[in-house]
Amino acid sequence: MKPRRILVISWTSVAALFLSCACLAAAQEPPTIPAAPPPGGAQQAAPAISPTVRLTLEDALARARKNSTPFQSAQTDAAITRQDRYQAAAALLPSVTYNNQALNTQVRNNFVIFIANNAAHEYVSQANVHESIDLVSVSAFRRASAAAALAKARAEIASRGLVVAVVQSYYAVAAGQLKLEAAKKNGAEGEQFFKLTQDLEKGGEVAHADVIKAELQMRERHRQLLEAQLGLLNARLDFAVLIFPDFNDNFELAEDLHASVPLPTLSEVQQRAARDNPDVRAALVAVQQAGHDVTGARGGYLPSLSFDYWYGIDAQRFAVSNLGTSAAATVNIPIWNWGATQSRIKQAELRRAQAQRELSLSQRRLLAEIQSLYAEAETALNELSGLSRSAELSADSLRLTTLRYQGGEATVLEVVDAQSTFAQANAAYHDGAVRYRVALANLQTLTGVLTTP
């Protein structure tokens, strides 16, 4: 029994020695770096966070023009009409074609049976220069030029409508950020006032009704904070959809909503609108286009003249010695077409009369819009200074009323009323700034000049 006990003790000591050596070796080994997971494995790399984009109003407008489908559609229409004008101009110039033919016909007793051909074997290889001159083609070119100008004016109208949308969305985000900051401040003040009423109640200075009123006001401020967060989120999402093709919500605005932007005088607005208004320009070009339609329709009464010049081979044998020239002039005189030309003239005159009425309406509408939009911008600017002063006064009133309440000279209702007045005045100040910026953008749709700080 004694040797067996010695053997057991020996194996235990050996096992302990090996365990100690293994632990020491593990402690001395350097840490191993885990291998990267294979592509497509369970572990995926964290997506890269795009850098914050700092946007000015001009940057936002440039991005919106690239990503707006209606604006790009108007630009495409303008480009298509420019190509129509190019094609109409090319139709007025001589054209050159090169014809190659080998004609065979039946011969009987040395006579050609098919009389349309000059010989049994005829080879035609010649260049033809053709030019046609008529009033219809000239009128078509002028009409295409007017159509190109009309499409350009409509593209500018689409651009200016996009400007108003971008300005409104841009400053809605700016106002939402300021309203959120104000809501956070109001929420913090509501919590402080609630704590103040609790402390005063513990000291026996106010009734428990004040604590209840303060708590209700605090919860209302928290609700307004949540609404401000939601409003800012929606404004940012709408703005991101408008200017980013890949829906990037990581951006910040570079311009100040309350930066001073002067309002141009009424005479300046009227002069710019008379010169640069796209609606009036589009209506004027439409009248010109309708006038060219009338001229083209009347050209149906006049003769048309065409010239042809040939150089090449038209002979029985294909050889250089048979090269020659030929020329022809043709005058087509219209005689009778059952009144179709007169009907086309009547149609064109009706369209021209309608275009003239639309031009008159656009001019009258422009005069009314100048007065209305300028009055809107002027009113918003005049109210903005008063709203700014109201926000300052409401902040001072809230501070003084809170101090009076601490001194026992004011009631809880006065403090709550001062808090509500401050929140409303602050929100009205930011909304007034957005209203003025949008009014300026609407004036831009008339004058073509966007005023930015």
What is the Cα–Cα distance from 340 to 347, expressed in whole angstroms?
A: 11
CA angle 247, 252, 253 (to 5 degrees): 115
Strand order from edge to edge, sheet including 304-315: 95-104, 121-133, 304-315, 323-332
pLDDT at position 21, please? 42
Q: Identify the top-confidence range among 15-19, 34-38, 208-212.
A: 208-212
> Residue 446: which residues within 8 A CB-CB, separation 6 or more?
269, 272, 273, 277, 366, 369, 370, 373
Beta strand 53-55 with 251-253: parallel, antiparallel or unpaired? parallel
- pLDDT, tens digit, 9 for 90 and up, residues 69-110: 888 888 899 999 999 999 989 988 999 998 888 877 777 777
Q: What share of the chain is helix, strand, coil (3-state, %, to 5)?
A: 70, 10, 20
Convert the pLDDT of each residue in 278-327 to its tens digit: 888 888 889 998 999 999 899 889 898 899 999 998 888 888 888 889 89
Residue 51 near residue 252, CB atoms below 8 Å: no
Q: Which long-range contacts (CB under 8 A, 24 or more apart) does 98-102 make?
A: 98/125, 98/126, 98/127, 98/128, 98/312, 99/124, 99/125, 99/126, 99/127, 99/128, 99/312, 100/124, 100/125, 101/125
How far does CA 20 lie from the centroid of its chain? 73
Whole-prediction pTM: 0.67
Instruction: Say how many CA atoms lie within 13 Å of 128 toward its Cβ.
Output: 15
Q: What is the DSSP letter of 315?
A: E
Integer Cα distance of 336 and 325 in angstroms? 35
pLDDT at 101: 83
Q: Return the percentage of the chain with pLDDT > 90, whole number.
A: 29
Q: What pLDDT does residue 358 have? A: 92
The pLDDT score that the predictor gives to residue 342 is: 92
The type of residue at 189 is E
Domains along the chain with CATH numbers: 53-94+134-303+339-447 (1.20.1600.10)
